[in-house]
Structure 1
């Protein structure tokens, strides 16, 4: 099994109490996030309607986790300590390919 470590990331998940982030205007949402948190790495709406924010620092993640209202909608914020593990299987690789080549 190969484990590839990534850089430390500070992630926060926001969950709206009455609906999902899919119902919000993404441009207005991005503007509000910028107003509240300044520059973040990335944000994405997950399939379940939650908003995942990739913060640049632990202090920014703490600020994001402390938010209670965004676009006049209340939500619950949760710090995500570790990134979710991802597993996969690679098929059809020649036996002549070395493990190092495969990792690259």
Structure 2
């Protein structure tokens, strides 16, 4: 079988192969077509911006978990996203001033 690269692998600068990814690479799930083929892409350098840091977030290439929210433009680096814990709702003055 021949490995065929998919868009998600290509966009992350990866390549398809039938062997494990190296130490400085990350496997991109479903990034290649073909039996036994995997996509290996370089691990990007993510930099946490102030916006992300202030919300106790962290940057990675993973999707945010169910108890996290994505902070738009919270990270610097290709494919990096900021995930921060979901904050409980706070009552505003308008809400608590009930007659």
Q: Which structure would you say has the larger RCO, counting Cα contacts within 8 Å and 6 or more residues apart?
A: 1
Normalising by the smaller structure, the TM-score range is under 0.3
* Rg larger for: 2
Between Structure 1 and Structure 2, the one with more strand by share is: 2
Between Structure 1 and Structure 2, the one with more helix by share is: 1
Name the TM-score, length of structure 2 as normaliser.
0.24
Name the TM-score, length of structure 1 as normaliser.
0.23
